[in-house]
């Protein structure tokens, strides 16, 4: 059990205690605890079907758990009416797994969706201005705004999804497998973007990923989901020191070794004092 104090501690942006989720007979989470600290990139890793996406949905109040207690930014997210969640949900942005954009809307219109939802009276010129700013902030060319998702590459779609998640200037960003489907170069560029946005905007990031390179490159701490709960959390070095077989196989297997070697290579080639 964690010895960190619960919920109202300002440095803990997300606190989950005793979470239990089931679907019929299937137990997905049982006795799951975690806490995410302000300003960190908190990676969540685990085998397929271990409940990473369900965990994220529980935290943002879209999945009602069987038991447990969840606080985000000091507020509970379980058993809340939708109207009670409005002020809180304005403070986070979400990129869902698969992160689909609305295909009939342009990039700029996609980014405006959360703005229109929460601020019904914003003048169109301001909506356009905010969307244009978010588009550029996520590294898309300025002329991407009027394009439709079908006209974009995979990496550009992800950026547009990120621009939409950042529409409301959130404190907290939830990303579910953001680099899935990108080639290694596109994935590395997206990692860099997440890291630089986290630094410049002071974001806290809850990042679900399968991507070992992402875990190595940008996560401050990594939580491992197995056996229905978070079985270990720490830096990758700390995780490597645990003897859980899944952790050892995952991080020390061929792909883990390759990711570790890539990081060492990149660090060795970085001029001193530069920020990646």
| Residue 139: C-alpha distances to residues 16, 32, 189, 262 (Å) | 33, 36, 10, 24
Which of Mg ion, ligand ADP, none lies near 48, with the C-beta cut-off 5 to 8 A by kind? Answer: ligand ADP
Q: Confirm or reject binding of residue 104 to ligand ADP (CB under 6 A).
A: no
Task: Return the number of the residue (13 or 44) whose C-beta is nearest ligand ADP.
Answer: 44
Q: Using the rule CB under 6 A, which residue among 15, 54, 107, 207 binds ligand ADP?
A: 54
CA 153 from chain center: how many Å?
Answer: 21
What are the strands, taking DSSP E only, across the chain?
A: 12-23, 26-37, 41-46, 67-72, 75-76, 92-95, 172-176, 204-208, 221-226, 229-234
What per-residue string of b and e applies to 200-232 under the rule 16 or more CB within 10 Å gives b?
eeebbbbbbbbbbbbbbbbbebbbbbbebbbbb
Which of Mg ion, ligand ADP, none lies near 200, with the C-beta cut-off 5 to 8 A by kind? Answer: none
Task: Return the number of the residue (50 or 214) whose C-beta is nearest ligand ADP.
Answer: 50
Q: Using the rule CB under 5 A, which residue among 21, 50, 53, 89 binds Mg ion?
A: 53
Task: Return the number of the residue (95 or 144) whose C-beta is nearest ligand ADP.
Answer: 95
Which of ligand ADP, Mg ion, none lies near 46, with the C-beta cut-off 5 to 8 A by kind? Answer: ligand ADP
Helix (H, G, I), strand (E, B) or coil at 171: coil
Write down the residue that tokens 């996406």 correspond to. 53
Q: Using the rule CB under 6 A, which residue among 32, 36, 43, 51 binds ligand ADP?
A: 51
Q: Using the rule CB under 6 A, which residue among 15, 19, 50, 131 binds ligand ADP?
A: 50
Task: Return the number of the residue (127 or 230) whose C-beta is nearest ligand ADP.
Answer: 230
Task: Return the number of the residue (53 or 77) whose C-beta is nearest Mg ion.
Answer: 53
Distance separating alpha carbons of residues 43 and 176, to the nearest angstrom: 10
Q: Which residues of the shown chain bind ligand ADP in the complex (CB under 6 A)?
A: 23, 28, 46, 48-54
């Amino acid at each position: 059990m964690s010895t960190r104090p619960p919920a109202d501690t300002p440095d803990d942006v997300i606190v989950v205690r005793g979470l239990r989720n089931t679907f019929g007979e299937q137990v997905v989470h049982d006795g799951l605890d975690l806490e995410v600290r302000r300003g960190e990139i908190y990676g969540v890793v685990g085998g397929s079907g271990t409940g990473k996406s369900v965990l994220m949905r529980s935290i943002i109040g879209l999945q009602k758990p069987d038991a447990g207690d969840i606080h985000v930014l000091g507020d509970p997210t379980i058993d809340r009416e939708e109207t009670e969640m409005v002020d809180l949900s304005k403070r986070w942005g979400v990129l869902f797994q698969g992160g689909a954009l609305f295909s009939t809307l342009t990039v700029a219109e996609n980014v405006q969706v959360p703005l229109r939802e929460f601020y019904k009276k914003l003048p169109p010129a301001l909506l356009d201005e905010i969307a244009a700013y978010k588009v550029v902030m996520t590294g898309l060319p300025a002329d991407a705004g009027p394009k439709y998702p079908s006209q974009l590459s995979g990496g550009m779609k992800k950026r547009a999804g990120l621009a939409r998640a950042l529409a409301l200037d959130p404190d907290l960003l939830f990303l579910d497998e953001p680099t899935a489907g990108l080639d290694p170069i596109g994935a590395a560029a997206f990692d860099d973007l997440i890291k630089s946005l986290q630094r410049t905007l002071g974001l806290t990031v809850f990042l679900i990923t399968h991507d070992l390179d992402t875990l190595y490159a940008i996560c401050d701490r990594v939580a491992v989901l197995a056996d229905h709960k978070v079985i270990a959390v720490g830096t990758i070095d700390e995780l490597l020191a645990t003897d859980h077989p899944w952790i050892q196989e995952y991080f020390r297997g061929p792909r883990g070794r390759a990711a570790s070697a890539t990081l060492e290579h990149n660090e060795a080639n970085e001029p001193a004092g530069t920020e990646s």
